[in-house]
Structure formats: C-alpha cells, structure tokens
Amino acid sequence: MDYYEVLGVARDATGEEIKRAYRKLARQLHPDVNPDPATQEQFKEVTAAYEVLSDPEKRQMYDLGADPRGGAAGGGAGGFGQGNFGFGDIMDAFFGGGGQQGPRPRVRRGQDALIAVELDLAEAAFGAVKDITVDTAIACPTCSGRGAAVGTEEVTCTMCHGRGQIQTVQRSFLGQVMTARACPQCRGYGTLIPHPCPECAGDGRIRTRRTVSVKIPAGVESGTRIRLAGEGEVGPGAGPAGDLYVEVVERPHEVFTRRGDDLHATLSLPMTAAALGATVQMRTLDDLVDIVIRPGTQPGSSQTIRGAGVTHLRGGGRGDIVVHVDVITPTRLDTRQTELLRELATLRGEENPSGEAEPQHAGMFRRLKDAFGGK
C-alpha cells in the first residue's frame, strides 16, 4: 500500500498538505457519516496512512522502505481507535479545529470598575474636578506581576506537559469520543508556579487604595457615566487594566428642582405684594437677579429667567429658570388689619361674595376685563 497514494498527495507534500488531505477524506469516509463496510475499510487505510505520514520519524522510516506499522497499514491492527493519530485530528476534520487550543494565558485584561460620585447642583451645572478614592487591583510591586517569588521561575506542568488540557477517550453509542478539559494541576495554564510571590500569592496583583482625579463636564445629571480608560482593575499577571466608570449622583437642592436643563423654583409672596406689585431679589446658581412682580399677580403664575439654568451637556448655552408664584393668604389678623381688609372689600364690592363657580369662559372674559380696567 502506498500511503501517499491513499491520501492523494505527492511524496514531497508538506505536513500541512498531508493534514488537509486527511481532513477532506475523513469528512467523506468517517463511519458516522458513511456506515458502508467498504467505506469503513477505506477510512482505516486513510487513518493508517495519516498516522505514518504525519509523524516525521515514521515518515522518514517509510520513505526508507520500512513500514513503521509493521505491515499492518491496511489491516485491522491499524483500525479506528488504534495507533497514535489522535482523535483531535478527526474532530478537526469535522469542526475545522474550532475551540481554544493550548494553554490559557496568565496575563489577561482586568475588569472594569464602577464608582459613584456625589455632586452639588452647581457642580453638575458648571462642571468640576473631583478627587475620588478607588479600591482596585494594581500590579504587584514585589514580583512586577510575574506571580513567582523573586529569583524563581514558572515550570512546565508535568501532568499536561504544557498543553493546559487533558484529553480523555470515552465510549458512547456513537463510538469513541474524545473530550478535553482544563488540566486540574495547572488549571489550564500549562505551567506551575512552585514558589508563589508572598505579596500577591501568585496572582501578580494586589489590592490598594488610590486617588484618581476626575474632570466632570458641565451639564451632567444623575445617572451620567464618565469613562476613564485604563483606570480600572489591573488584570491577572499584571495584564492591561480595565476602565473606570464614574457615575454621577446629584444631591437635591434646597431651592431648585431640576427638569432636564431647566430649573424650577417657587416664590412665595404676601397677598399684598401680589396685589400691589413688587421687586424681589432672587439668587440663582451664579448670580443675583431682580424679579419684577406685576400688580395683580395671580397664584400659580410663573416667570422665566432665560439662560440661567444648567449648561447644556452637548452644545452651547444654558437652560432656563422657571419661577412659580405662590400667594400667601394671611391666617392671623389683628383688629386694625381686619378693619382695613373689610374696608377694602367694601370698596371693591366684595363684602358678600356669592362663592358660586362660574364657567371657564366667563372667568376668562372677566379676567380680561379686569386686566384692561373694565368695571
């Protein structure tokens, strides 16, 4: 039997060409795909040929005229499950060699971290620089992230021989199935650290507290997250650090209520000020402004101070401040005050109000009439 002819490759074929040829034939001839007895015998021949030609030493012996399989290349001794061809090659033939191969790296990217920062309304409106304390992992200063004690090195795992995986063959109703799992001795790394660093216990990193300066842009609000690239957790083995996300929590303000970039406030006025008019000073986030109360101002009316609200996070300009007027009716009057109010009611013809509800349109026309000085 000519093994090269069985695989359909030239005698000077490379190892990769031999492997590709075997994969192609295995997809066609595997017993799970084609159970025909004649095909199974052909599959055994292909497997035997690949077992020899894929091994450089066996291939050299074959090229010199000797059969490393002892003349059993096409017989039952070289059938499925025999020899050293490995079930991994058959799995590669069907699944294209998918899945992680080899040991997993000790050096990996770190996780992202999240921390909250509280801001006053003015800090959220105009921006600020805040120093925050974070508790994250950093590279171990003793072993520089290697995980091994100073003066020692990693060694190859004796159980998996550096592969990071242990392969086992099991019988099932589909035949023999090979499974791979992480090596229990080295946990899939392929190497062992016989003398771990006493500072980090072999992890390559330690936890510590550090201060990070964060620039808060103007216009943020509760729930806004600011990303600081590379300021998160350092990865195992001193791998690249993840990102740090700073989430804004805005403290309630004693005067203003925020709605988007607009601020709302309530201005309480005495009944007399609402009736006669007045000028009231009000402090905004960054200024002191005069609010002119027109005579006859009604409860629930409002005034808008343009451009005095929160800075827009995206784009220029600011929101507004909306001032809602609340008229306070006195609850305690002395004798003189009562007399004056009764006199006013008499002058206005309001000493015996009917107290009847009127249609909305009638009330609107009456207010227009009053506004223009009608009787």
- pLDDT, one tens digit per residue, over 252-267 is 999 999 999 999 999 9
In a domain, 335, yes or no: no
In a domain, 357, yes or no: no
In a domain, 269, yes or no: yes
In total, how many domains does the chain have?
A: 2
In a domain, 218, yes or no: no
CB of 69 closer than 8 Å to CB of 51 = yes
DSSP 96: T
Query: Which residue, of 95, 115, 140, is where some domain finishes?
Result: 95
CB of 304 closer than 8 Å to CB of 322 = yes
Put simply, whether the predicted model's pTM sits higher than 0.75 gets the answer no
CATH number at residue 314: 2.60.260.20
pLDDT band at 33 (very low <50, low <70, confident <90, very high): low
pLDDT of 15 > 80? The answer is yes
In a domain, 232, yes or no: no
Instruction: Write down the pLDDT at residue 169.
Output: 72
CATH number at residue 43: 1.10.287.110
Mean pLDDT score across all residues of the chain: 82
pLDDT band at 174 (very low <50, low <70, confident <90, very high): low
Domain that holds residue 73: 3-95
In a domain, 25, yes or no: yes
- Cα–Cα distance between 344 and 294 in angstroms, integer? 20
Query: Which residue, of 95, 126, 156, is where some domain finishes?
Result: 95
Query: Which residue, of 74, 95, 116, is where some domain finishes?
Result: 95
Q: Name the amino acid, one letter, at 331.
A: T
From residue 226, alpha-carbon distances to 147, 188, 208, 359 in Å are 32, 36, 22, 54
pLDDT band at 357 (very low <50, low <70, confident <90, very high): low
What's the chain's Rg over C-alpha atoms?
42
- Cα–Cα distance between 74 and 239 in angstroms, integer? 51
pLDDT band at 359 (very low <50, low <70, confident <90, very high): low
pLDDT of 362 > 80? The answer is no
- pLDDT, one tens digit per residue, over 326-348 is 999 988 889 998 899 898 888 88
In a domain, 149, yes or no: no
- Cα–Cα distance between 23 and 128 in angstroms, integer? 63
Location of structure tokens 């025999």:
82
In a domain, 113, yes or no: no
